[in-house]
Chains A and B, each alone.
Chain A
Amino acid sequence: MKPAPFAYVRAETLDQVFDLLDEHGDDARILAGGQSLMATLNMRLSAPEILIDINGIDGLSDITTEGDTLKIGALARHSQVLESSDVAAYAPLISKAMPHVAHQAIRNRGTFGGSVAFADPAAELPAVTRALGAQMVIQGRSGQRKVAADDYFQGLFETDMKENEVLVGVEIPRIKDGEKTAFMELARRHGDYAIVGIAVQGRVDGGNFDDMRLGFFGAGDQPILAKSASAALNGQPNNEDTIKKAQDALDADLDPMPDLNGPAEMKMHLARVLTKRALAELAA
């Protein structure tokens, strides 16, 4: 199908975006990489009156480091993030996840900020930001505010952002010495949305798990940080008994929705399987 008609504005400044958002409210949509939005427009699941293209705004696509913080501009393309040596050094979990984000032609257009702002519970990057304890940098007309990933995601495609705000970047704390990462997902075709997936960062010191953060996608109505399972691991030895307790704790953390891939019970099973595999890789 083709999109319903709309007007199109190529914004040059954020102030221009705020003006248009104030004027059009719900009838406006922000166009970043467009790799989700264009599909929903084509299928007429969404029919805004006006698209505000932010791709031409300067300074929103840089990837920089400042002290122990990695800053990814909202308009950084997935392929740019994948090829960034700063990302690989500061947040290797993102580098591991990125090859699973769709396909090359989509990674060439899709943006890091777009994925985070869209907040698809089945997408890789929102869950990765939770596992990494990222901060979202949100700009409004009156200034910037930062929101922790744990507070940012609030439900199905719902975030803490207000109508007249724009996500301008994501800040990620640098991985600490001894911390390790693992990323896995199950999908019918490489690059497709996962049936369920896991993104983990944490440490195994002297045979004990610590500082574990298990992020899940495709496992509920939003990207999930599995707090019960993480708690079941911290301070415990890396053995079958501990991993079984973490797997069991997932019942309290995850609430997968049945879909065309299968029932919720199947997804819970797959989440437990992935947890065991990811922890084995992390500890290896």
Chain B
Amino acid sequence: MDQNITITMNVNGQTVSRNIPARTNLVDFVRYEMELTGSHVGCEHGVCGACTIRVNGDIVRGCLMLAAQAEGATVETIEGLSDSGEIADLQKAFHERNAVQCGFCTPGMLLTAEELLKKHPSPSREEIREFISGNYCRCTGYQAIVDAIERVAEERNG
């Protein structure tokens, strides 16, 4: 049986087609085929959230989805969201509030924070903590991250 597959998807606005091993997961696809290394690979079993990627508008675990399953999909990574300016305010707040230390979790954390603010524009600190509970950060103790997301929620609400 053929263990390769040809797939076509849109990554950060660019339509790409590749023949890849079927076992390639989505985060490895964007890292190695697209050379977009902002999405990180941590635990590879869905626990840490470092590989968070947006597929058809919703965040997913990049390690728990095959690239083959993104056939025809719109895929957005931290590079895409960064270039479009969609999360510029979150990036600024993370920087200013020192919510970034080693930076390994930051891309996944930013995508998760953006999904939270789209779904719940005025989250409480408790709701922020619950929503980012699927993204591990081993540096900050989360306090600064919650502060940064809370500030952006307030700013966006004017």
User: Which residues of A are at the interface with B, using a C-beta cutoff of 8 A?
Assistant: 1-8, 10, 31, 34-35, 38-39, 41-43, 49-51, 53, 55, 79, 99, 102-106, 108-109, 189-191
Contacts and interface: CB of A to CB of B under 8 A. Distances in A.
A22 to B, nearest CB: 15
B109 to A, nearest CB: 11
A194 B44 CA distance: 20
B63 A42 contact: yes
Nearest to A45: B45
A76 B59 CA distance: 16
Interface string B39-65: 000001110010010000011110111
A34 B69 contact: yes
Interface of B: 1-3, 5, 21-23, 25, 28, 44-46, 49, 52, 58-61, 63-66, 68-69, 71, 112, 115-116, 129-131, 133-135
B142 to A, nearest CB: 11
Contacts of A55: 69
Interface centre among B2, B5, B112, B133 (most CB of A within 10 A): B133
Contacts of B3: 5-7
Secondary structure type dominating chain B contacts: mixed
Contacts of A102: 46, 134
B105 to A, nearest CB: 13
A38 B131 contact: no
A1 B44 CA distance: 7
B123 to A, nearest CB: 12
**Closest A-B pairs by Cβ, 9 of them:** A103-B134, A8-B22, A7-B1, A39-B45, A190-B133, A108-B58, A38-B64, A3-B23, A105-B59
B59 A104 contact: yes
A10 B71 contact: yes
Nearest to A55: B69
A106 B71 contact: no
B45 A104 contact: no
Given A5-B23, A6-B3, A7-B2, A106 B64 contact: yes
Given A104-B134, A191-B133, A6 B22 contact: yes
A108 B68 CA distance: 17
21 contacts: A7-B2, A7-B22, A34-B64, A38-B25, A38-B46, A38-B66, A41-B23, A43-B44, A49-B1, A51-B22, A102-B46, A103-B49, A104-B112, A105-B49, A105-B52, A106-B60, A106-B64, A109-B60, A190-B129, A190-B130, A191-B133
